[in-house]
Structure 1
Amino acid sequence: MAATVAGVMLLLTFATLQLVGHTLTKQVEHEIGDNLAELAFQTTDKLDRGMYERYREVKLMAERHEITDPAVPAETKRAVLDSMQDTHPYYAWIGLTDNAGKVKVATKHLLEGADVSRRPWFTAAYQNSYLHDVHEAVLLARFLPNPRGEPKRFFDIAFPYYGKDGTIVGVLGTHLSWQWAGEVERSVLRPLAERKGVDTLILSKGGAVLLGPKEYADKVLHQDSLLQAQRGGNGAQIETWPDGKRYLVGYSRSLGHRSYPGLGWTVLVRQPLDEAYQPVEALKDKILWSGLGGAALVALLVWALARDITQPLRTITRHADALQAGNAHDIPPIRSRLAEVQILQSALNALLGKVRLNEQGLRELNATLEARVLERTVELHKAVDDTRKSEQRVKAIIDTALDAFVGVDAQGRITDWNPRAEEIFGWTRAEALGRTVTETIIPPRLREGHDNGMRRFSLSASSDVVGKRLQLSAMRRHGDEFPVEMTIGLINAGDTHFFGAFIQDISVRKRIEDELARERELLDAVLDSIDVGVVVCSREGAISVFNRAAREIHGLAPAQVPQDQWAGHYDLFMPDGRTPMRKEQIPLLRAMHGELLENIEVVVKPKQAAPRHLLASGRALHAADGTNIGAVIALKDVTALKESARRLEASERRLRTITDNLPVLIAYIDRAERYQFANGTYEKWYGIAPADMIGKSVKDVFGEEMYLRDQPFLRQNLGGQAIRFEAEVAGPDGTKTVEVVGIPDMQDGKCVGTYVLSSDISEAKQHQEMLNRIARTDSLTGLPNRRSYDERLAEAVQRAQRSGHAIALMFLDVDHFKQINDTLGHAVGDAVLAEFAQRVKSSVRITDTVCRLAGDEFTVILERLKTVEEASLVAAKILKAFERPFVLDGGERRVSTSIGVAYACDWPIDIPALGNEADKALYTAKREGRGRFAVKDMRA
């Protein structure tokens, strides 16, 4: 019994160990993989956003007047550059070069006068490539402080800058310290790496390690995770690294941000599998040792219990053997806790007393026996006749009996064989008579034991099987074994004897009994293996089933106590944990009285353990005829669940407080496009309470128009792709520009919803638009500048080509403008240019575009022309506007302009050729005496 119980517990332990280990391993791999992939994505996103800021800063620096204007002193320019470096310490060096590659001005005077024309960043800036990937310092290595002796590494951003005539006059170059990327990595991942052994690697576009563990420094990797990231993927996978270890690796690739095109960096975040699976292994060890300890303890208890039960029986058996041998008269008292042992001892002693009385009676009867022999002899003759008649009656009874009857003589040969025996064993009476019973109905494996028993009986004339109901195996004619129930009678006939056996085929009954036994064993095993407490009582209220889980819950074994004491004995309380439960409230008694219970909350407070919160469900039990036979109750321990619910409620309360106070819209939308979470910012922005949004669709909350606008992004997001887009939304405070980020919620490879975060970028957009206007507007005249001119001319040519109308380009400048500057000063010159711009702009149509290129150079783009004469009329109108003198600080002065006009209506139009022709026409007007215009028709 002890070995069997221990074996079952060990089997359950190992099965639980395998199931829990496999399930937890998959769950840990999925959760940690998602976390590592998210960390890799956050790192690449932070790198891209940081690089975007640096990229935009350098670009704006290249357009600043106080840096690029040759009239600004070098000291002033250096002060501006030094201020930028002090503000952003990651700029290791900022410098201005001329077109020959000579450094004119630089931060801290470093490399001033040096030739950098062979440096890749200088040549790339002229080819519209403004980024250069990470490299070691070449010229700056000996100038920059390096207390640790580590190689200095930079990445470069360089833009050309332009003179007033719009031509490139040099390059603004910057060296950004690669230490910046290390700070990004530390801010995002270093705390996690210190706790869980997470490594971060930042790799270049070619796979070289730019930042990571020392053993991989500057090495080129070919990991599959790197290839997945370079294909644009973001995720996690398990793989083996060059050190021979297996890691769980999250990966993400830099894709740039807005105008910053990106350098193709890849971020890999890895964690050793043994670190990731450490909690799983610890739990498996705990389960294993708990199972082994439990098996050993239960086996020991079963062994002790079985030994205690069988010891008194062995003592009785020993005394019974002594009585049989005649060496004792009574069985002495035996101490045992089992009432059955005491009953057995008393019954054997009473039987011995009866045997002694019978012996005394036999001796008395023997004295009168001889006197009666004569009398019996006379009666014997009469009895012989009666016996013959009785034999006939007995034969008739045996032949019609439902059980098989087999008569056997002292030599073991069959002497009688009734019809039922023919049916059961397949032998006819004629075939069976005279055969030995051993070869006829005894299976081969039992024949030796049967023959030995017959020999022992012939020697001792006694047998333990006579007169008893036995269950044995018998054999049919064709060799099939089957179970039988047999009763053997002994008939003594003088110097010989006969046996008579009634045999019943119990195959069907045996099969049913085996099935019932298996079902009972299975039921007992299931009840003791489940974690739900099960208690069953009879209709009288006696506890008949009290499984393992129930004993653990109550800390008690079942006891037959009165029903009105159950609440106190088992420490039953109401759901508040303080109010003792009354008898009529006890779930098992309620079920006994016919009530159907489902999830009734009960608290059990064992004396030596913490209170347990239970959900009780139960019902009455009825026999097949409907008679009430008791009740059953199931107790589910929800203590941990209630504690988890309490902690979850507290966590949700904290999370709700945090999210409701963030200036960001945060929501969760399920697959059916319905809101399952929304923070309080929705009410602040739109006046919509989050509680009113839960369960409603996006269309119901924001209306058909907004839903149709954003539907493609939402469908893409719920398809498993992360999204980012900008949208205009109206609210109580006016229209906002929001940036929407959608992160899909992936479970088992399927998207079950999406997390949506929307931030207000209205001020950032306005700031960006203001910067764009400043970058494209001439600060003196308010006209579009050279950069804007190039864009607007290209757009005008495209419109003209689509509409089929002609287009004309005018080049204008102020006649003798240098003389005005030299005689009247630059302030007067600026006033002339401002007035010049206003007169030109007021002379053209609203659909025409007036731009200032540089100095006194202006252009006019004329659209929707039908003939060249229309362009001439506009030019004449402009000349007429300058007939009126300019009112300046020094008095009135006449100012004239020369105009060159290029007219085109043949497609396609070569934009550079159009500008060249307008420039040639301008010089033609100047040669002819200024204050006039010249037209070049490009059809000629």
Structure 2
Amino acid sequence: MKIRSLFIAAGAVAALVGTSAIVAMWTATRLEGRAEAQQQRAQQVARDVAGLVGATYVFQRERDELSISEWKSWHANIVRDLAGADLQGSAHAEVELLRDAAGRLPALFERALKTAAAPDSDFQRRRHDQAFELLLGDTQAMADAAFRWSRNAGDARRLAEDVHEQVTMAAVVAFSMLLVVLASVGVRRVLRPLALLTQATEALERGEQVPLFGSTARDELGTLKRRFDAMTIALQRRTGELREAEQRMRAVADNVPVLITEFDAGARIVFANATAGRIYGVPAEALVGKHVSDVRGEDGARQLQPHIEAVLQGQSVEFDSTQALPGAQRHFHQLYVPRRDAFDTVVGFYSVSMDITERKAAELAVQASEHRLKDITDNIPVVVSHFDKDLRADFGNLAAERVLRRPISELLGQTFREIRGDAVWEIAKPHIDAVMQGQPRQFESFVTHGDGTLYFAQRYVPDVDAAGQVQGFYSVSFDITERRQAEAKLAESEKRLRDIADNLPVMISYIDKDQRLLFLNETFSKWTGLDHRTTVGKTVAEAVPAALYEQRREHLARALGGERVEFHVESTAAGAARSLHNLYLPDIAEDGSVRGLYALSTDVTERRQLERQLAELARTDALTGLPNRYSFNEQLAAVIKRAHRAQSFTALLFLDIDRFKLINDSHGHGVGDEVLREFARRLQQLVRGTDFVGRLAGDEFVVVLEGLRAATEAEIVAGKIIEAINRPFATSAGELSIATSIGIAVHPRDELGGEELLGRADQALYLAKGAGRNQYRLHAS
């Protein structure tokens, strides 16, 4: 039978025995409890019945309210206790008897209560005695039944206690026997075979040969023994394989170009490969047992001591060392790895040493090359540095030290941000991200000290290894402080020029060869209503209205052809009309090509208005407001040309005031001026708006009539003038009578000059004066 099945069966039996014992003990305990409760109730009823008996005697003697109340109270207690009584067992008869008696007592008590307390007759006395005898009889019967019930309940309780004790003892005995059986089976079937297996396992751990069990049992331990036999066979086979593998590893270790040694905790060699023997010139077996100082010498042992102490503390150590060996000095790269036992305690260490003499020579050559390169970089006026992929500085030339004002030794190992600060970091970070992705970058940066700021043109170049991976970047910085200062001065100068240009009452602009606006001053915005900041970059055609561009298009083409151009235009922009004098100066390059032009526009509106006013003043008589001789000469020439084109008549009337000198002499020049002004006013009222009225000098006036169909029309006008002038003149000296003489000359249909026409009119005037004044004469032509 299998051990598992055996233990399952034993467990089932134990469970059955345990369950039976528990059920028996629970039943006995329950019966004992019920018996105890029955006894307590019987004793309580007996006490209540005894109290009722006493109360009955008191009632018989006293017959007062207190004795009646006390009797009823005891009776009620008995009825209550009997109501919950258990009727099972031997107590059934007594309890039924007690309940019947308790049920009859109230009627007997009422009957006794109705009898007279002091009977008067023998009949009443017999009734009284009979009632109390019945009451006392039933009460005494209840007392006897209660006593029997209490006694029987006590017997039942003692019996239940005996049963409980016997059941408990039987359960203890059953469990003891079961444990003995299980222990016997466990020792024989489990513990003894396990002890044999344990001994065999310990022998295997010691490396001893262990005989096979060869068990044929079909239980679990039999299976375990067969597995142990299989494991033993496999272990013996594996041990053989390990020996073979060890021999192969030894062969490999002896033929690799690496020194492999094993040391104990005292730094003595416990294993060395053939390479180590060849390096030290002795057989590898001769090195076993030697201390590190025996192999490396006292000086070498002192150099290695910190590394040996570290590896014996459980740390892997990697370092380079140098050793003088017969024939040459050799360099080694060494790795110390702690050797631990099964309890993870360091009991020695392994040493793997690689001969790096050739690599060291190459490194020394590289170092010499780097030293030469550093000498070069230290003597160029450019800051050169290198940052690894963690953005830590690992190279910097003397220029970096001078610029940053910190020793290079202090800068190496620090991050870019630690060296340059947060402000420069924020500027450089996008470029660093790009260069670490393999993209060269160029930008400008700065270094600030207490005495000023230096500016640099930065170039970042990725440092890419043979596999194409970015390992860091080179930073080359050119000092552009002087250039920036020059640019700042230039910008300041340009600002001053801009401020000056923006406040000049001249519109200044620069237009390139494509007619694109590259510069505009503030005056442009004021005069055109366009924002000069947003207009820059647009072509002239795009920036200004079409009408304004058309005014300038031809002049722009001439100036861009290399010609200095000056012209005048009337322009309306931003709701204002301006007269502009424009000067276009071509911007000619050294090779003679025109790069663009400078445009200067001056507002001459006020000057033009003033010129027009001066011109008008030059053409107007200040006293009368009529056109003067200068204006007359201009107008007469134009009138003659129009008459010639229209093939019409034009008449010139030449007038003066008769005896005007007498007026001045008699009344003064002020009155004379009043007469002249009134004379002029009346002339203007008598002619058409298209006709010309002017004052030539003194009291001489002219009237030019255009578009006449016949010469007689001029005579009609002359007659009206004389008539109007002859009306009295109101002056400050009173009313004056004024007369005028008029000479008329008519322009014929053929060509006739203005001076000749005026001469003819003058001749006719003299004829009128000679005829007696205050009349007109027509020149006979």
TM over 0.5: no
Structure with greater helix share of residues = 2
Larger CA Rg, structure 1 vs 2: 2
What TM-score, normalized to structure 1?
Answer: 0.38
